[in-house]
Amino acid sequence: MHNIKLKPTQVLVIGFATIILTGGLLLNLPIASQNGESVGFINALFTATSAVCVTGLSVVDTGTYWTVFGKTVILFLIQIGGLGFMTLATMFFIILGKKISLKERLIIQEAFNQSTLAGLVRFSKYVLIVTFAVEGLGALFLSLRFVPQYGLIIGIAYSIFHSVSAFCNAGFDLIGNGKNLMPYVSDPIVSLTVSFLIIIGGIGFSVITDVFTNRKLKKLSLHTKMALLITALLLTIGTVGFMVLEWRNPNTLGNLTLGGKFLSGFFQSVTVRTAGFNTVDFAQMRTASKLLAIILMYIGGSPASTAGGIKTTTLGVILFTIISVIKGKSETELFRKRISRDIVNRAITIAIIGIFLIISVTMVLSITDSQFDFMEILFEVVSAFGTVGLTLGITPLLSALGKTLLIFMMFSGRVGILTIAFALARQQHKYKGNIKYPEGKILVG
Amino acid sequence: MHNIKLKPTQVLVIGFATIILTGGLLLNLPIASQNGESVGFINALFTATSAVCVTGLSVVDTGTYWTVFGKTVILFLIQIGGLGFMTLATMFFIILGKKISLKERLIIQEAFNQSTLAGLVRFSKYVLIVTFAVEGLGALFLSLRFVPQYGLIIGIAYSIFHSVSAFCNAGFDLIGNGKNLMPYVSDPIVSLTVSFLIIIGGIGFSVITDVFTNRKLKKLSLHTKMALLITALLLTIGTVGFMVLEWRNPNTLGNLTLGGKFLSGFFQSVTVRTAGFNTVDFAQMRTASKLLAIILMYIGGSPASTAGGIKTTTLGVILFTIISVIKGKSETELFRKRISRDIVNRAITIAIIGIFLIISVTMVLSITDSQFDFMEILFEVVSAFGTVGLTLGITPLLSALGKTLLIFMMFSGRVGILTIAFALARQQHKYKGNIKYPEGKILVG
Ligand SMILES: [K+]
Ligand SMILES: [K+]
Binned at pLDDT 50, 70 and 90, residue A104 comes out as low
Sheet strands side by side (includes B337-339): A439-440, B337-339, B332-334
Q: Please tell me the number of the ligand nearest to residue B272's CA.
A: 2
Say what the pLDDT of residue B224 is: 85
State how far Cα B239 lies from the chain centre: 19
Residues A47 and A58: their CA atoms lie apart, in Å, by 6
User: Which residues, 6 or more positions from B18, have their beta carbon under 8 angstroms from its beta carbon?
Assistant: none
Reduced to 3 states (helix: H, G, I; strand: E, B; else coil), residue B149 is: helix
| Domain presence at residue A86 | yes
User: Given an 8 Å threshold on Cβ–Cβ distance, is A442 in contact with B316?
Assistant: yes
**Residues whose beta carbons lie less than 5 angstroms from ion ligand 1:** A 55-56, 169, 171, 276, 389
CA distance B240 to chain A (A): 15
User: Given an 8 Å threshold on Cβ–Cβ distance, is A222 in contact with B441?
Assistant: yes
Nearest-Cα residue of chain B relative to residue A305:
B445
Query: DSSP string of B391-428?
Result: -SS-GGG--HHHHHHHHHHHHHHHH-HHHHHHHH-SS-
Q: Please tell me the number of the ligand nearest to residue A201's CA.
A: 1
Higher pLDDT, A175 or B377: B377
Query: Which residue in the set A288, A325, A362 is minimally distant from B345, CB to CB?
Result: A325
Q: What value does the mean pLDDT take over residues A270-286?
A: 85
Say what the pLDDT of residue B178 is: 66
Res. B429: pLDDT tops 50:
no
- A301-350 pLDDT, tens digit each: 888 777 888 989 899 999 999 988 888 777 787 777 888 888 888 889 89
Q: What value does the mean pLDDT take over residues B129-145?
A: 89
Sheet strands side by side (includes A337-339): A332-334, A337-339, B439-440
Binned at pLDDT 50, 70 and 90, residue B1 comes out as very low
Binned at pLDDT 50, 70 and 90, residue A132 comes out as confident
In DSSP terms, which residues pair with B338 in a beta bridge? A439, B333
Res. B4: pLDDT tops 70:
no
Nearest CA to A13 out of A422, A426, A402, A364 is that of: A422
Say what the pLDDT of residue B432 is: 46
Say what the pLDDT of residue B120 is: 63
**Residues B198 and B305 sit within 8 Å (Cβ to Cβ):** no
| Domain presence at residue B48 | yes
User: Given an 8 Å threshold on Cβ–Cβ distance, is B441 in contact with A223?
Assistant: yes
CA distance A131 to chain B (A): 21
Q: What value does the mean pLDDT take over residues B398-407?
A: 93
CA distance B445 to chain A (A): 5
CA angle centred on A154, ends A151 and A158, rounded to 5°:
120
Query: Could you tell me where the DSSP H helices lie in B113-187?
Result: 120-150, 152-167
- B209-252 pLDDT, tens digit each: 778 777 777 778 888 888 899 999 999 999 999 999 988 888 88
Query: Which residue in the set B226, B295, B329 is minimally distant from A431, CB to CB?
Result: B329
Query: Could you tell me where the DSSP H helices lie in B215-247?
Result: 222-246
Query: Which residue in the set B291, B322, B342 is minimally distant from A362, CB to CB?
Result: B291
Nearest CA to B430 out of A326, A317, A318, A341 is that of: A326
For ligand 1, the distance from its centroid to the CA atom of residue A197, given in whole angstroms, is 13
Q: Please tell me the number of the ligand nearest to residue B384's CA.
A: 2
User: Given an 8 Å threshold on Cβ–Cβ distance, is A444 in contact with B339?
Assistant: no
Q: What value does the mean pLDDT take over residues A410-422?
A: 81
Residues A362 and A370: their CA atoms lie apart, in Å, by 11
Nearest-Cα residue of chain B relative to residue A289:
B363
For chain B, what percent of residues have pLDDT higher than 90? 27
For ligand 1, the distance from its centroid to the CA atom of residue A309, given in whole angstroms, is 11
Res. B44: pLDDT tops 70:
yes
Q: What value does the mean pLDDT take over residues B359-381?
A: 93
Domain that holds residue B40: 8-424
CA distance B19 to chain A (A): 22
Q: What value does the mean pLDDT take over residues A387-415?
A: 90
User: Given an 8 Å threshold on Cβ–Cβ distance, is B341 in contact with A331?
Assistant: yes
| Domain presence at residue B1 | no
User: Given an 8 Å threshold on Cβ–Cβ distance, is B317 in contact with A223?
Assistant: no
Q: What value does the mean pLDDT take over residues A271-295?
A: 88
Domain count, chain A: 1
Binned at pLDDT 50, 70 and 90, residue B357 comes out as very high
CA distance B421 to chain A (A): 6
Q: What value does the mean pLDDT take over residues B343-364?
A: 91
For ligand 2, the distance from its centroid to the CA atom of residue A145, given in whole angstroms, is 60
Say what the pLDDT of residue A445 is: 57
**Residues A374 and A352 sit within 8 Å (Cβ to Cβ):** no
Say what the pLDDT of residue B248 is: 87
Higher pLDDT, B77 or B418: B77
CA distance B168 to chain A (A): 18
Angle between helices A312-326 and B417-424 (to 10 degrees): 70
User: Given an 8 Å threshold on Cβ–Cβ distance, is A335 in contact with B440?
Assistant: yes
Binned at pLDDT 50, 70 and 90, residue B2 comes out as very low
Say what the pLDDT of residue A25 is: 95
Res. A175: pLDDT tops 70:
yes
What ipTM is given for this predicted complex?
0.85
Q: Please tell me the number of the ligand nearest to residue A56's CA.
A: 1
CA distance B374 to chain A (A): 7
Query: Which residue in the set B327, B429, B443 is minimally distant from A328, CB to CB?
Result: B429
User: Given an 8 Å threshold on Cβ–Cβ distance, is A437 in contact with B295?
Assistant: no
Query: Which residue in the set B313, B353, B428 is minimally distant from A444, CB to CB?
Result: B313
Nearest-Cα residue of chain A relative to residue B329:
A431
Say what the pLDDT of residue B65 is: 87
User: Given an 8 Å threshold on Cβ–Cβ distance, is B340 in contact with A439?
Assistant: yes
Instruction: Please provide the average confidence, as pLDDT, over all residues in chain B.
Output: 82
Res. A195: pLDDT tops 50:
yes
Q: What does each C-alpha distance from B151 to B19, B156, B180, B183, B188 come to in angstroms?
A: 35, 8, 20, 17, 20
Say what the pLDDT of residue A429 is: 44
Q: What value does the mean pLDDT take over residues B259-274?
A: 87
Binned at pLDDT 50, 70 and 90, residue B24 comes out as very high
**Residues B230 and B300 sit within 8 Å (Cβ to Cβ):** no
User: Given an 8 Å threshold on Cβ–Cβ distance, is A442 in contact with B295?
Assistant: no
| Domain presence at residue A443 | no
- B322-347 pLDDT, tens digit each: 988 888 777 787 777 888 888 888 88
Higher pLDDT, B318 or B210: B318
Say what the pLDDT of residue B27 is: 94
**Residues B400 and B365 sit within 8 Å (Cβ to Cβ):** no
Say what the pLDDT of residue A207 is: 81
In DSSP terms, which residues pair with A337 in a beta bridge? A334
Q: Strand B332-334 to strand A337-339: parallel, antiparallel, or no bridges (unpaired)?
A: unpaired
User: Given an 8 Å threshold on Cβ–Cβ distance, is B349 in contact with A321?
Assistant: yes
Binned at pLDDT 50, 70 and 90, residue A436 comes out as low
Res. B352: pLDDT tops 50:
yes
For the ranges A201-210, A258-267, B423-432, the lowest mean pLDDT is seen at: B423-432
Say what the pLDDT of residue B441 is: 60
For the ranges A96-100, B38-42, B226-230, the lowest mean pLDDT is seen at: A96-100
Highest mean pLDDT among A207-216, A251-260, A361-370: A361-370
Q: Strand B332-334 to strand A439-440: parallel, antiparallel, or no bridges (unpaired)?
A: unpaired
Res. A114: pLDDT tops 90:
no
Q: Please tell me the number of the ligand nearest to residue A410's CA.
A: 1
Chain B residues with CB-CB distance to A228 below 8 A: none
Q: What value does the mean pLDDT take over residues B355-372?
A: 93
CA distance A88 to chain B (A): 22
For the ranges A380-384, B81-85, B275-279, B337-341, the lowest mean pLDDT is seen at: B81-85
For the ranges A353-367, B83-97, B148-162, B268-282, the lowest mean pLDDT is seen at: B83-97
**Residues B296 and B312 sit within 8 Å (Cβ to Cβ):** no
User: Given an 8 Å threshold on Cβ–Cβ distance, is A291 in contact with B113?
Assistant: no
Say what the pLDDT of residue A2 is: 46
Higher pLDDT, A140 or B125: A140
CB under 8 A, 24+ apart: contacts of B209-214? B209/B123, B209/B126, B209/B130, B212/B130
Say what the pLDDT of residue B171 is: 81
User: How many beta-carbon pairs below 8 A join chains A and B?
Assistant: 256
For chain A, what percent of residues have pLDDT higher than 70? 84
User: Which residues, 6 or more positions from A296, have their beta carbon under 8 angstroms from its beta carbon?
Assistant: A234, A238, A269, A272, A273
Chain A residues with CB-CB distance to B373 below 8 A: 374
For chain A, what percent of residues have pLDDT higher than 90? 27
Residues B433 and A338: their CA atoms lie apart, in Å, by 13
Chain B residues with CB-CB distance to A441 below 8 A: 115, 221-223, 343
